Amino acid sequence: MVGTTVISCGRYRIVSHACTPDDIRAYPIRWNVRADGSGETGSMRELRLHPDGKHIGFSSVTMTGNRFDQYSYLARLKFNPTPKTGSPCVPRYDLTAVTRLFDSAENEQPVQTKEGRRGSPDRLVIESEVPSVGELRGFSADGREVTYIGYPSESSSIDVYAADLRTGKVRRLTAHPEYTDPVTLSPDNQWTAALDTRGSDRQMFLAGMRGVPPLLTSARQGGLRRIS
């Protein structure tokens, strides 16, 4: 998988000397987002192939009014040699069983309000162990966990977490204010290899005080600094 395309060499492996340019085919990946199956594919980013070779994870950005959101999804790849609807109408891989990795229940949110003695919400509670899959980063070597950028444990700390796809149990993988991408886990899930912007001070102007609750969720630096 390269971007939103599956590269195939038929019965040969891509790295095999038997794989020649005449054997290579490029199949687009399509995410249907319309009830009738028409139109273009849904917008996908940060695509990652699951270790089983049959599923992928990806993120998608949405705009609702003035609100910017990003959700992550898990889906199964299914080869469609002769599609009848939707574009591109060429041999392709369709995504099936698409599941959003998000629970809309109020008690499953990273930030919750709790009722006080007077029966009205007067406390803000941060639940750091609630699965909050923001931007997908990949999977553990055994495929049981999804890795992602979630709601920060500390103010403006762009860290990576892992959530068990079956139980929802969350563990924090990195603990540094700087931005982390990419990340991968060792075959035994005991080690994490991560690339971050440590040394650039990209995040430190906001996250210099460790242990501060996530009052600020994140920061981006593109020309002039913007805080969100």
Backbone φ, ψ for residue 205 (5° rounding):
-70, -20
How many Cβ atoms sit within 10 Å of the Cβ of residue 83? 15
Output DSSP code: residue 2: B
What residue type is assigned to position 157 of the chain?
Answer: S
Question: 158 or 220, which is more confident?
Answer: 158
**In this predicted structure, what is the pLDDT of residue 210?**
62
pTM: 0.81
**In this predicted structure, what is the pLDDT of residue 53?**
92
**In this predicted structure, what is the pLDDT of residue 208?**
56
Q: Please tell me the number of Cα atoms within 13 Å of 116 on its side-chain side.
A: 6
Lowest mean pLDDT among 4-18, 31-45, 140-154: 140-154
Spatial CA neighbour of 6 closest among 90, 112, 111, 104: 90
**pLDDT tens profile 47-80:** 999 999 999 999 998 877 777 788 899 999 999 9
DSSP symbols for 137-188: EEE-TTSSEEEEE-S-SSTT---EEEEETTT--EEE----SS-EEEEEE-TT
The C-alpha atoms of residue 33 and residue 39 are separated, in whole angstroms, by 8
Share of the chain above pLDDT 70, in %: 84
**In this predicted structure, what is the pLDDT of residue 9?**
94
Q: Over range 71-100, report the average pLDDT.
A: 95
Domain limits, the chain: 1-100, 105-114+125-228
- Coil, strand, or helix at residue 95? strand
